[in-house]
Structure 1
Amino acid sequence: MRTRLRQLGVQGVQARTFHAAALRQLGYFWPRVVGGAPPRILEYKAPAVGEAARRLGVAVDRVAVRDLSSEIEWAKVSLVTAEDYERACVAVDRETPAGYDPTTIARLIASYEEVKTERGVIDFEDVLLLLGEMLRSTPAVADEVRRQYRHFVVDEYQDVSPLQQFLLDQWLGGRKELCVVGDPSQTIYSFTGATPHHLLTFSKTYPGAHVLRLVRDYRSTPEVVTLANRLLASTGRRRGPGAPLELIAQRPSGPPVAYTAYDDDESEAAGIAARVGRLVEQGVPVSEIAVLYRTNAQSEAFEQALADAGIGYLVRGGARFFERKEVRDAIVLLRGAARSADPDQPMPEAVRDVLITVGWAPKPPAARGAVRERWDAMQALVALADDLPEGATLPDLVAELDERASAQHAPTVEGVTLASLHAAKGLEWDAVFLAGMSEGLMPISLAETDDAVAEERRLLYVGITRARERLELSFARSRHPGAGRRASAPGSSTGCGLTTRRTAHDAHGPRAGVAVGRPGFSWRRPAHGRVRPGAVRVVARVALGRGSGD
């Protein structure tokens, strides 16, 4: 984004995530405020959570550690301290991880903070918390930051957590130079502490704010937009700050949305791979095609089917592009080569000479999995080198990579994108396949409350609106060949406002069904627990190792 802004002649604009901006500022001010180097950041919570549980005599396994780590993260981004945890759970009717009562988890939160303090480390939530508390308690630092950064624009504001809002308030320092963009209908991360509360109450917080309802959809065809509107219309809520927007498509009409039923998961994966192959033959770039699903476990079948069809793919949701070891190693080699580059050798050729030593080849490997993913990553670097202006040098490429790494702006990897619906947020493709639209997967079987089902509806809405031109929804009647049918066989509801009608089969497999809205679901904003005013300072002191009695 910074590169694009410079091209437009805009200077002094910084585009960063909350964490990236906070980490930069915390590292700069820590020596002045606290002294010494900033603490090391704990990359993974699991070891510290496991140690905290051991000290309390709480039995945990790998799955339990993962769930408890997520619960600790929720508490921290919600500004809920160990002593407030039980009351907060009651206030928001929160279900704790299976097998652990709120009292045990409250004790675990306190023990986890003690483990971190003893090890002299902080976690990613502490980065926001400590900077926010530093700005709140150190006027000189706050003034310096506020002089440098006057205006703030926050995108995806419906997903801001209480902790992020606390930091944003410190950055603003009571000023009103703030623009936010968000859509309550795309709130899909409530399990991590994200809440649309700040967006829905923005006009109350800032009475003079000018509100613009962005209802014109320039991304998707009318067919896609109509389905998205129909899905949200079935919530029954038409007015008020939480009412869904009714989008108005601005693009020309496109292909009708397709609905396909398959006999089993294997057939679904093979059928979608075949459809992808036909789209590629028709000229749709492979990087403009995505297969989206509810759970990460569903990706394996599609990886196998695409590999069998000879179609490249990449799986989103793992390590970020610039955090992958093979990418880091490649950049180190390119940086070394830049220092001794032959000025007479074309830069793209030099890049190929370097990357061929770390897994790149002129043709993709036949193998799937890690080997193919490594090649795809190297090919993305090669493609980026080819895209730079003529005359660009290796140092120019390294500088571009450094800037992209700072902004987490990964180069395009050629391949069909496989991603969970959560990982697809903020992205878009020409063609999208929504797979596994079966009862138990969409909505997922864990969604047992009205609020949970409402979030599943919003998640499906996000999936639908990722498509620009082509959208196909499908489900399998059973998980395995020859198994019994799922609950959402043709003619039954998917539980999120879509109903499929059974249709005849033709020579090419199941024909498209028709989706219709099903009323009866209500969407309401989840309740929010009240946090004691001192909670931020208490958590910050614990993270700093000062104790809560200062």
Structure 2
Amino acid sequence: MGGQQEPASGLDPEQRAAVLAPRGPVCVLAGAGTGKTRTITRRIAYLVRQGHVAPGQVLAVTFTKRAAAEMRTRLRALDATGVQALTFHAAALRQLRYFWPRVIGDDQWRLLDSKLPVVAQAARRAGAGTDRETLRDLASEIEWSKASLITPEDYPAAVARVHRATPAPAEQVVAVYATYERLKNEASALDFDDLLLHTAAVMEEHGDVAEEFRDRYRSFVVDEYQDVTPLQQRVLNAWLGERDDLTVVGDANQTIYSFAGASARPLLDFPRRFPEAAVIRLERDYRSTPEIVSLANRVIEMARNRPAGSRLRLIGQRPSGPPPAFTEHDDESAEAAAVARRIKNLLAAGTSAGEIAILFRVNAQSEVYEQALSEADIPYQVRGGERFFARPEVRQAMAALRTDGALSEDRPLPVRVRAVLARLGLGEQPPEGGAARERWESLRALAELAEETASIAPETDLARFVIELDMRAEARHPPAMEGVTLASLHAAKGLEWDAVFLVGLAEGTLPIHQADGDDAAVEEERRLFYVGVTRARHHLSLSWALARAEGGRRYRRRSRFLYGLVPEDHPSSSIGRASAGRVSSRAEAARCRVCASALTATMAIKLGRCEHCPADLDQDLLDRLRAWRGDRARKLGVPGFVVLTDATLTAIAEQRPSDVAALVRIPGIGATKLDRFGGEVISLVLGAGAGS
């Protein structure tokens, strides 16, 4: 049984040091693929096994229901049942429900399933847009503000300070935000951010409540600590009080949620806050081949202004594998078709479809790959699409398992589950395709989950398995499905596959064009790229396309994050080389137009020269560009940097592009800005003085 396993057995020296560290502050800096979940669950089990803390006195928090569910599964296998492993919001909700009658005294306020209806009411009253996209942006802005502990009154100064692009003029966002809060309070309702705000307030303002909570929970563990927001940190501080029995685990190189208020600063500052803390670095990568690990290290080593606590260098532990492949294509359809062909070859060679992923920057990129896989008759699943446990066949199967009483109790769990599912259509061979194949795949996933559960905990019976399914449904933690995964890079965080295809690696997509001109935002995009690279175990393919549509203008260039990674003598692709002309040459590494040195720094790439090389700035042109931008920004109701950044204007004034081909060579001029502003900018360069 899993419970007989010694928590510190089978670990490398660094993992063992983290597990055996004494009670008190512990900071585990855990690189990608280094076994962080294994390490922290073993640490919890060790503290429980040694009698340092009772299982019910441990509160482990993470950021997704899936991660919390995985932690609970591992803890059960280590005989640490009873440990509370929850998301921040789930932990806060439990506490509020318990303490509300004592603190508030009246009926508990209802929790909003979605804030969009209330945001829509607030937007109408504030005269803001009410289309679904605008409402989603406004809701996200409210979430960022509350996670960052920013009130409506403080919002304008806060967004100006961080140069944040806003979905509407700041004053209008303030009106929506304030009205939303008022409407919500009048309806006696809470949103998910309120769970944390009220929990912190209750602990801070009611000493008896704080004392009771701290008497119940003695030891705290925080996973993915690089993703903590100021609001979550405030809650954690309230939980702790003056105590220091805290273990945090994180990797600053995987901080990819700054747009939502997350910050790696608490992780990096942990040794300053707790000078006596044990700090352990996990750098042995057990996930990826040395070739992939080497590429990942090079990606993150090019990051600018990396703080000391983020300088983990992964050390590959797996056998050698194929080198990462780099490919350039004429257009996105050609790129998708090539990816589908390579996946076909991997499937023929024995790689499971469930061990292959296509990862992209934004969800809108998914469609062309869905079409290519469908045409190649390759099964796939879109992560973030229809929830597994909401599917009709899954609900039917769970109901059948819950009511099954015809089978003998002494039969093994997998046999019993397969017998029930067979009555619902789970045969030995899958149907040809379509809805019947999808239904079969769902049922097979449940059967395989039963086999996995029995292997981890052989004592599990059918009743317990049904409870496990209910818990997974609540946690949105579906079983693995057989099919190629399509997912955004953000959705891929925490997952891994044998083969990963990173697609659409072009300027304006990665880094996304909204990040251009903001060094901090560009570096977050680099970390997102790093997360994508480190999802791959054995095969890694990186590709980009020079045009969006077949036969379209090939104005794109490959992502700046690929500079220094693609071998100098590597012909990115022979596709369209003869006809691509100057466009293809732009896919090569950026070089200084003055001294011809390779450029890697964001500002240097944007200016097209080393920062120490002499500039050839046309000040009159720069003044005209700034005046034009100011006029444009006023008419669009956005900050000036949303039109074009200062760095882009400076690059234009230095390089004086006189046609489209020259203009798109300047970083910051992607497809959208070219279509919207390109003609006006070129007219200004040529001296025509065109306005808006």
Shorter chain as denominator, the TM-score bin is 0.7 to 0.9
Check the 8 A contact 2:400/2:420 in 1, yes or no: yes
Q: Which amino acid aligns with 2:420?
A: V
Q: Name the structure 2 match of 1:195.
A: 263
Q: Name the structure 1 match of 2:196.
A: 128
Cα distance in structure 1, aligned partners of 2:367 and 2:392 = 22
Q: Name the structure 1 match of 2:303.
A: 235
Distance 1:106 1:440, change over 3 A: same
In the alignment, structure 1 residue 329 sits paired with structure 2 residue 395: yes
TM-score by length of 2: 0.68
Check the 8 A contact 1:265/1:479 in 2, yes or no: yes
Q: 2:184 aligns with which of 93, 116, 121?
A: 116
**1:173 Cα shift?**
1.5
Q: Name the structure 1 match of 2:84.
A: 14
Render the CA deviation track for 1:174-198: whole Å, top value 9, x for unaligned: 2111111111111111111111121
Q: Name the structure 2 match of 1:437.
A: 505
Higher helix share: 2
Q: Name the structure 1 match of 2:144.
A: 74
Check the 8 A contact 1:237/1:244 in 2, yes or no: no
Q: 2:245 aligns with which of 163, 177, 183?
A: 177
Q: Name the structure 1 match of 2:348.
A: 281
In the alignment, structure 1 residue 467 sits paired with structure 2 residue 536: yes
Q: Which amino acid aligns with 1:43?
A: D
Q: Name the structure 2 match of 1:480.
A: 549
In structure 1, the residue corresponding to 2:541 is in which secondary structure? strand
Render the CA deviation track for 1:188-243: whole Å, top value 9, x for unaligned: 111111111211221222222222222222221111111111112222546x4355
Q: Name the structure 2 match of 1:446.
A: 514
Check the 8 A contact 1:351/1:382 in 2, yes or no: no
Check the 8 A contact 1:439/1:495 in 2, yes or no: no
Check the 8 A contact 2:295/2:565 in 1, yes or no: no
Q: Which amino acid aligns with 2:113?
A: E
In the alignment, structure 1 residue 297 sits paired with structure 2 residue 378: no
Q: Name the structure 1 match of 2:93.
A: 23
Distance 1:327 1:161, change over 3 A: farther
Check the 8 A contact 1:427/1:466 in 2, yes or no: yes
Q: Name the structure 1 match of 2:102.
A: 32
Distance 1:300 1:170, change over 3 A: same
Cα distance in structure 2, aligned partners of 1:497 and 1:25 = 51
Cα distance in structure 1, aligned partners of 2:317 and 2:589 = 22
Render the CA deviation track for 1:144-169: whole Å, top value 9, x for unaligned: 22222211111111110011111111
Render the CA deviation track for 1:376-432: whole Å, top value 9, x for unaligned: 434322322344438965323212213334554431111111100000011111111
In the alignment, structure 1 residue 255 sits paired with structure 2 residue 322: yes
Check the 8 A contact 1:215/1:245 in 2, yes or no: yes
Distance 1:439 1:57, change over 3 A: closer
In the alignment, structure 1 residue 147 sits paired with structure 2 residue 215: yes
Q: Name the structure 1 match of 2:612.
A: none
Check the 8 A contact 2:383/2:485 in 1, yes or no: yes
Distance 1:342 1:109, change over 3 A: same
Cα distance in structure 1, aligned partners of 2:212 and 2:402 = 37
Q: Which amino acid aligns with 2:542?
A: L
In the alignment, structure 1 residue 57 sits paired with structure 2 residue 127: yes
In structure 2, the residue corresponding to 1:477 is in which secondary structure? strand
**1:312 Cα shift?**
1.5
Cα distance in structure 1, aligned partners of 2:341 and 2:379 = 13
Render the CA deviation track for 1:259-297: whole Å, top value 9, x for unaligned: 112222112112111211211222222211111001101
Check the 8 A contact 1:145/1:171 in 2, yes or no: yes
Q: Which amino acid aligns with 1:330?
A: Q
Cα distance in structure 2, aligned partners of 1:135 and 1:360 = 55
Check the 8 A contact 2:402/2:466 in 1, yes or no: no
Cα distance in structure 2, aligned partners of 1:243 and 1:392 = 42
Q: Which amino acid aligns with 2:600?
A: P
Q: How does 1:344-383 map to 2 (within 5 A)?
A: 346-353=415-422, 355-356=424-425, 363-364=430-431, 366-367=433-434, 375-383=440-448
Check the 8 A contact 2:388/2:394 in 1, yes or no: no
Render the CA deviation track for 1:61-116: whole Å, top value 9, x for unaligned: 2211111111011001111111111221223222211xx22122112111001121
Distance 1:118 1:318, change over 3 A: farther
Cα distance in structure 1, aligned partners of 2:216 and 2:401 = 32
Render the CA deviation track for 1:107-142: whole Å, top value 9, x for unaligned: 211100112122222111111111222222222322
Identical pairs, percent: 50
In the alignment, structure 1 residue 268 sits paired with structure 2 residue 349: no
In structure 2, the residue corresponding to 1:44 is in which secondary structure? coil
Cα distance in structure 2, aligned partners of 1:136 and 1:261 = 56
Q: Name the structure 2 match of 1:531.
A: none
Cα distance in structure 1, aligned partners of 2:460 and 2:253 = 44
Q: 1:519 aligns with which of 600, 603, 606?
A: 600
Number of aligned positions between the proteins: 506
Check the 8 A contact 1:236/1:522 in 2, yes or no: no
Q: 1:4 aligns with which of 74, 82, 86?
A: 74
Q: Which amino acid aligns with 1:199?
A: L
In structure 2, the residue corresponding to 1:311 is in which secondary structure? coil
Q: Which amino acid aligns with 2:91?
A: A
Cα distance in structure 1, aligned partners of 2:562 and 2:477 = 36
Cα distance in structure 2, aligned partners of 1:293 and 1:67 = 21
Cα distance in structure 1, aligned partners of 2:140 and 2:81 = 39
**1:463 Cα shift?**
0.4
Q: 1:101 aligns with which of 159, 162, 169?
A: 169
Q: List runs of 5+ in structure 1 lacking aligned partners.
A: 507-512, 524-550
Q: Name the structure 2 match of 1:47.
A: 117
**1:436 Cα shift?**
0.8
Cα distance in structure 1, aligned partners of 2:100 and 2:429 = 48
- Root-mean-square deviation over aligned CA pairs: 2.9
Task: Using the TM superposition, name which of 301-310 and 346-355 deviates more.
Answer: 346-355
Q: 2:483 aligns with which of 415, 423, 438?
A: 415
Q: List runs of 5+ in structure 2 lacking aligned partners.
A: 1-70, 576-586, 591-597, 605-692
Q: Name the structure 1 match of 2:229.
A: 161
**1:54 Cα shift?**
1.4
Distance 1:215 1:138, change over 3 A: same
**1:255 Cα shift?**
0.8
Render the CA deviation track for 1:44-71: whole Å, top value 9, x for unaligned: 2211111011122334322111111110
